[in-house]
Chains A and B, each alone.
Chain A
Amino acid sequence: MRKIIAGLFILLSATLMSSCSKEDNYEGPNAAFKGRLLDNDSKENFLTETGGVQVKLEELSWSATPTPQFIPSKSDGTFEDTKLFSGHYRVTPANGAFWPVEGIEIDINGTTTQDFTLTPYLRITQFEHELQGTTLIMRCKLSAPKEAGLPRLLDIKPFVNISDYVGSGATISQYTDPNKVDINASWSGEIAAKTYEIRVPNLKSGRTFYARLGARVDDSYKQFNYSQIITITVP
């Protein structure tokens, strides 16, 4: 009996293997596309988080209405995808906290590099912080590169994490939502003049934290414009 079963298994695996022996003679995806997302003012990398911006790719080589694919941004404001098919693409940075930009058409083959300049909805300026005991106090002002048509401002949130990957998708939630500052108003001179203070109390002693602030507006995507990341060691 066992021999029969073993024999059947051998037969089965032989059949399975031979059934996949047809050769795939198409090229694999061997092109790469990468680049930086740049802030239009500082020309530094756009302040974002992992997936805070998506670079939308539409391959126009075959169809005028392709299913889009997306390259999520890295936390440092760059993006890279090394498994693409060579071809003619329309590329549009999207789904982020910046004014919409027109896509560009580009041929991708080998390693193609393309940077994009983005205008953020908001900038966090005069960002400073101090630690009082176990309470982190962060202060900032907001500025808007383009005021006309700016969607309503929603809130400013503190993001705190134990690694330097810190943002809305990587934060210790008990330090974030209870300490946010709601704005819920349209842009005004009053908001521009105001200094916002965000306090994060009860940080654990003896730990090192990475923190930043994020502000967002009520656009289609509700992503955050971020401050720089700061490192705090709680005594």
Chain B
Amino acid sequence: MKRYGGIPIIRKVQHYPEQSLEELQVHRDKEVDVWNFVADDLDSAYKKMPETSQRGRANRYVAAALKSRAMLYAGTIAKYGAANFVEGEARTLGYVGIPLSAAQGFFQRAWDAAKLLEGHYSLYRKKTDKEQNYVDLFLDKESTENILVRDYSLTSNTAHSWDATMTCRFMTADGLSRAYPTLELIERFNGQLPVVNADGTPRRFDNTAQLMQGVEPRLLATVYFPGASLRGKQFDMQRGIYERFQGTAADEVGQNPPNRQFRHLAGKTETLYDGMRIIGFTGISTDDDNLTRTGFYVRKYIDYNRAQSACGLYMSTQSWIDMRYAEVLLNRAEAAVELNNAADARTVINDLRDRAGAPQLTADPGIDTVRNERCKELAFEKQYWWDLRRWRIADRMLDNTKYHALMPYYVADEKKYIFLREMEPFQRSYNFEKKFYYEPIPGGELGKNPNLFPNNPNH
């Protein structure tokens, strides 16, 4: 659904060769009809299923949580897809796109479904330290927030590689890291980090870990900052060393950097300048991206109690939380704002912010605040991409966009650290065309069933 729009609704099992090809080659249904079908199906699941279930299995609240997610998708596609779309026959026929008039109904159903879980699940608050609490929420199997989880184990050959592929080899036994949080994500929390003085010069730090002072606990628990520790080792990322540094940060990242001839970069962690590792053990290399490209590593879900030797490929066993109560609360808050009930959204978000160690909202939130809260809370949980799509803002957010890094440098003559906000070193640009809001119906399916035509617009 979220990929293709309207697909055929099949209510009865098909039999081949007992049934003729004409019977089996069904037509697509309208997108709005398929979302309604999903809602009805989940309603009947909610009625028929028990309140509790074995770990890893669905119960009636899983159905309700999924419904809140699905209806929110349908509501936003109706509302925002009405203004941002690609013309085409499939749209004219209703196979993709939902009439704007259906939006409010879907939002109401999303809110109602989310409300059903109230009192049955709660945000995880076992530890008093907010940062540690947020870290453990993803690792504690007894979390009161888990609605549906997926377990992994070595004995059943289902272990995964999260630990080996999210941080670098310095902390792991095998594999290479490839996913790095952008500075843009970090700046969603509290704007730009305080790395520049009022006069425009880079603020001097005694060590990189000082940057973490005053940062929201939830953010510290979501990404590893320079100076953070894991398995007894410190993330000592450095982009390089300046022999000396004069002038402003803006000049240095501009087109004629005044201190460039005093800057040393390196490709390998062993490369020294004056006896010091130029990029540290976890630093930002000029060669490749086996080490961070942005100055940060993913922390969410990292099993910090696991010994380094057990952090190889296909050796990690922490559960994946497919649905947790925080998402349901965010579904509810977003639906509430779309239904002009911002007061409810405020209550819900303040609950999340209290657990996160973030400041409370002092006014009713608008849609941008609610969306930003969702991006912060659900970072790296496979939501953001689909959110960008259903909000129909992906073509603006990813408009040949390049992302930024926070580069830590050691200034040798002052024995201090500075941070510069630079483009990430690969300078890769990311683009999203409007036609990607729907994927093409695969050619193999179209070959088997010509009644699936017309394909989605511009594919």
Contacts and interface: CB of A to CB of B under 8 A. Distances in A.
A121 to B, nearest CB: 14
Contacts of B443: 67
Given A65-B450, A65-B453, A65-B454, A220 B400 contact: no
B458 interface: yes
A202 B256 contact: yes
B429 A173 contact: yes
Interface of A: 65, 67, 94-95, 100, 168, 173-174, 177, 201-202, 218, 220-222
B87 A177 contact: no
A155 B8 CA distance: 40
B402 A220 contact: no
B255 A220 contact: no
A174 B402 CA distance: 11
Contacts of A168: 400
B458 A220 contact: yes
A5 to B, nearest CB: 35
Interface in B421-459: 427, 429, 433-435, 443, 446, 450, 453-454, 457-458
Given A95-B458, A201-B255, 9 more contacts: A65-B446, A65-B450, A173-B400, A173-B429, A174-B255, A202-B255, A220-B435, A222-B395, A222-B434
9 contacts: A67-B446, A94-B458, A168-B400, A173-B427, A220-B85, A220-B434, A220-B457, A221-B433, A222-B395
Contacts of A67: 443, 446
Nearest to B454: A65
Interface in B82-122: 84-87
A222 B256 CA distance: 33
Nearest to A100: B87
Contacts of A65: 446, 450, 453-454
* CB-based closest 9 A-B pairs: A220-B86, A202-B255, A65-B453, A220-B434, A220-B87, A65-B450, A67-B443, A220-B458, A222-B395
Interface of B: 84-87, 255-256, 395, 399-400, 402, 427, 429, 433-435, 443, 446, 450, 453-454, 457-458
A220 B432 CA distance: 12
Nearest to A177: B400
A176 B446 CA distance: 41
Nearest to A94: B458
A99 to B, nearest CB: 12
B373 to A, nearest CB: 25
Which of B400, B443, B450, B457 gathers the greatest number of chain A CB atoms within 10 Å? Answer: B400
A174 B86 CA distance: 30
B429 A221 contact: no
Nearest to B453: A65
A158 B440 CA distance: 33
Contact of A221 (B85, B400, B434): B434
A51 to B, nearest CB: 12
Which of B429, B435, B458 gathers the greatest number of chain A CB atoms within 10 Å? Answer: B458
A18 B245 CA distance: 71
A65 B452 CA distance: 10
Contacts of A173: 400, 402, 427, 429
Nearest to B457: A220
Nearest to B254: A202
A177 B429 CA distance: 12
Contact of A222 (B255, B427, B429, B433): B433
A79 B453 CA distance: 28
A120 to B, nearest CB: 18
Nearest to B86: A220
A80 B86 CA distance: 27
A164 B395 CA distance: 28
Contacts of B450: 65
Contacts of B446: 65, 67
Nearest to A175: B255
Nearest to B402: A173
Contacts of B402: 173, 177
A94 B85 CA distance: 16
Contacts of A174: 255
Contacts of B434: 220-222
B421 to A, nearest CB: 14
Contacts of A201: 255
Contacts of B458: 94-95, 220-221
Contacts of B453: 65
Contacts of B84: 218
A222 B433 CA distance: 8
Contacts of B255: 174, 201-202
A94 B84 CA distance: 18
Nearest to B459: A68
A95 B87 CA distance: 11
Contacts of A95: 458
Contacts of B86: 220
Nearest to B401: A177
Which of A65, A218, A220, A221 gathers the greatest number of chain B CB atoms within 10 Å? Answer: A220
B395 to A, nearest CB: 7
A67 B454 CA distance: 11
B84 to A, nearest CB: 8
A177 B431 CA distance: 14
Contacts of B435: 220
A218 B453 CA distance: 27
Contacts of A202: 255-256
